[in-house]
Amino acid sequence: KSDNYVHIVEVGPRDGLQNEKRAIPLATKIELIERLAKTGLPTIEAGSFVAPKWVPQMNNSAEILQHVLQHKISSPVPISYAFLVPNTKGLANAAAILQQHADRYVADVAEARAAAEAAAADGDSAAQPSSFVPAIELAVFAAATESFSQKNLNCDIATSLDRFRDVIREAKQITSKAAAASGTPIPLRVRAYISTVLGCPFEGPDVDPKRVAEIATDFMEMGADEIALGDTTGMGTAPRTKDLLRSMTAAGIRNEDVALHFHDTYGQALVNTAVGLEHGIRTFDSSVGGLGGCPYSPGATGNVATENMVYFLESLGMDTGVDLDAVADIGAWITGEIGKANDSSVGKAVLGA
């Protein structure tokens, strides 16, 4: 069963909300994360340790990290929580919280893994492979085009990669009180995004796939655990997605180390997802209610909606472990909460709205 498993990374609480002008209360963000956790989604991108004067909406990410570490959030599968870190300052802010407050999360993960291993030994087939290790994910983010790098990170690509080398090295060295006492390390992974891989808001659709593969190779050499390829503008098409994935494979990047992150501005996200699946990719990002957009990508709309992604994957006989009706309810609730239209066609259809 697990051969057909597709890992969905829910990015709504971060990518979905970061662009909202009106401050969303911390309690709403936490309610969103806790509700998503109950649906079977295995990874939730929950916040961003970026400069508040650049992206004020993500200002309370420290409280969110602390919350997910300290509270036993009820969920059918153990959950990975991801947070963006743009530089060593953001990493230091996240590390301070991880060092102080990770004990409970570390213990919960150890317990969940033991249960998954026991279930696998008993021959119980869970959707999620028992090799999956839930973790706190710290996500760095570079761009494939110089103009977007300047707008998003205020530096060129080469400078950003130099900075991320330090961020990744330091991220791998984070240890907690729990580790000091019991030797159990914090489960940590580094996700490395590359934005504008299929189009740039300032340079257009022609982005060199070989350049993307080079940056991905640099990230893997720095110790990244996963490369997330971002179609920031949604300009990606099926043929160019195929070329990009072929370039990645030609550069020696393994499919299991790649995630695809499609914005749906041109409605091509699921077509491009099909191309990714055919190529052998099994991790896809999406956002409940189709929320989102990037503050530095004018005109780009949200990520492909999680409801649409789940419906599509399940229709192909893939297994996501995600409760579509529950996600549809959350999409209707959160879009109402922040005063936006529900952008998920599947969500609206499921709810009869």
Residue 154 interacts with ligand HMG (CB under 6 A): yes or no = yes
List the interface residues with ligand HMG, window 276-335 (CB under 6 A). Answer: 294-296
Rounded to whole angstroms, the Cα distance separating 29 from 12 reads 10
Please say whether the beta carbons of 256 and 292 come within 8 A. Answer: no
Among 5, 13, 15, 264, binds Mg ion (CB under 5 A): 15
Bridge-partner residues for 263, per DSSP? 303
57 makes contact, choosing from ligand HMG, Mg ion, none, with CB < 5 to 8 Å by partner type, with: none
101 makes contact, choosing from ligand HMG, Mg ion, none, with CB < 5 to 8 Å by partner type, with: none
DSSP for 220-234, written as a single string: HHHT-SEEEEEETTS
- The vertex-135 CA angle with 98 and 13, nearest 5°, equals 80
Rounded to whole angstroms, the Cα distance separating 38 from 36 reads 5
Among 16, 42, 43, 48, binds ligand HMG (CB under 6 A): 48
Among 9, 36, 44, 55, binds ligand HMG (CB under 6 A): 55
Rounded to whole angstroms, the Cα distance separating 284 from 272 reads 11
Of the candidates 351, 292, 352, 285, the one whose C-alpha atom is nearest the C-alpha of residue 313 is 285
Residue 86 interacts with ligand HMG (CB under 6 A): yes or no = yes
| Helical ranges in the chain per DSSP H | 26-37, 61-70, 88-101, 103-121, 146-153, 157-172, 177-182, 209-222, 238-250, 269-279, 306-315, 324-337, 345-351
- The vertex-99 CA angle with 61 and 177, nearest 5°, equals 150
Q: In the complex, what is the shortest distance from the CB of residue 84 to ligand HMG, in angstroms, rounded to a whole number? A: 6
Binding-site size, ligand HMG (CB under 6 A): 29
Select the span of 9-17, 177-185, 313-321, 339-347 touching Mg ion (CB under 5 A). Answer: 9-17
276 makes contact, choosing from Mg ion, ligand HMG, none, with CB < 5 to 8 Å by partner type, with: none
Pairing state between β 136-143 and 43-48? unpaired
List the interface residues with ligand HMG, window 6-25 (CB under 6 A). Answer: 15, 18
Q: In the complex, what is the shortest distance from the CB of residue 23 to ligand HMG, in angstroms, rounded to a whole number? A: 16
Residue among 116, 136, 294, 304 flagged as catalytic: 294
Q: Catalytic site residue 294?
A: yes
- Closer Cβ to ligand HMG, 42 or 236, answer by number: 236
- Closer Cβ to ligand HMG, 230 or 289, answer by number: 230
Task: Give contact residues for ligand HMG (rule: CB under 6 A).
Answer: 15, 18, 48-55, 84, 86-87, 89-90, 93, 141, 152-154, 193, 195, 230, 232, 261, 263, 294-296
Report the catalytic residues: 294
